[in-house]
Amino acid sequence: MGETHKYHLVGWDKVCSPIQFGGLGVRYLIPFNHALLGKWLWGFGLEELSLWRQVFVAKYRVERGCWTTNKPRGSHGLLFWHDNWCSNRSLKETFPILFGCSLNQNDSIASVLVSQSPGHLGEVVDKLHWRLNQNGTFDSRSYYHALHAPEVVHFPWKSIWGVKSPRRVAFFMWTVTWGRILTCDNLKKRGLVLAGWCCMCKADDESVNHLFIHCWAAEKLWSLVFRSVGIDWVLPLQVSDLLFG
């Protein structure tokens, strides 16, 4: 049996946005994987007696709290200004003005960065503190949002996901709010050649807002619902405005 062709209705960037910003909360795999791996880096700085950390230290070497595979040159190690020891560029390339002002342009890292006693800076205990949340402890959620900051979108998500309705109905309304259901105008944007008028009223082009609000059949249905609950309501121009109301 052959598979039927299915249209991709909503873009992946919207699907991967948080629910409150109009998405489905699906995470991008690459930044999410980096956020999960970040927990290992956090643990490396705290779990000094763990077996897995001792294996890394034995295989590689530790420099300023993290492991590295770079091999130092000579007895004085890497050069502070000329080597790529803290990023993929040297400090003289990143800060050329400071490099020009420096009187010790060929010093090694060991001669520039004065080492303190392990775990202490003077009388204050040196410890890791995570600044992306309130408790100061690393969590993958806050790290993921720092790696992939979502676009802030005003979206009526509470009217869609915060009500007691079947998930299929909520998902359909989510698609409707984005204006991505397969109405005639959307089908023509995808290259299909067809008549664009509404199949119910045959008086106007079929769009999402027309089909659910402005078509005479939709207006008649809305009027029936409003009369049954005893209210008068002026319908907005767009479906999203109706959900906000």
CB 14 within 8 A of CB 22: yes
pLDDT for position 57: 78
| pLDDT single digits (tens) 7-27 | 889 999 999 999 999 999 999
CB 174 within 8 A of CB 160: yes
Residue 98 counted as domain residue: yes
Choice among 39-43, 104-108, 232-236, 240-244 with the minimum mean pLDDT: 104-108
Of 112, 131, 164, the last residue of a domain is 112
The pLDDT of residue 91 is above 60: yes
Residue 204 counted as domain residue: yes
Cα distance between residue 218 and residue 99, in whole Å? 70
The pLDDT of residue 153 is above 50: yes
Cα distance between residue 213 and residue 201, in whole Å? 12
Residue 160 counted as domain residue: no
Residue 13 counted as domain residue: no
How many domains, the chain? 2
Of 84, 112, 140, the last residue of a domain is 112
Residue 80 counted as domain residue: yes
Residue 142 counted as domain residue: no
pLDDT bin (cut points 50, 70, 90) of residue 243 is confident
Instruction: Fill in the DSSP letter of residue 108.
Output: B
CA-to-CA dists, residue 13 to 42, 76, 152, 161, 240, angstroms: 29, 49, 12, 19, 19
List alpha helices for 178-215, DSSP H: 184-189, 208-209
Residue 39 counted as domain residue: no
* DSSP-derived 3-state class of residue 219: helix
- Give the pair of three-digit tokens for residue 238: 């767009």
Greatest extent of the chain over all pairs of C-alpha atoms, in Å: 88
Contacts of 159 (CB under 8 A, 6+ apart): 243, 244
Residue 200 counted as domain residue: yes
| pLDDT single digits (tens) 165-192 | 999 999 999 999 999 999 999 898 888 8
The domain of 108 spans: 75-112
* DSSP-derived 3-state class of residue 38: helix
pLDDT for position 155: 93
Cα distance between residue 173 and residue 111, in whole Å? 64
Average pLDDT, the chain: 81
| pLDDT single digits (tens) 45-75 | 788 788 888 887 777 766 555 555 555 444 3
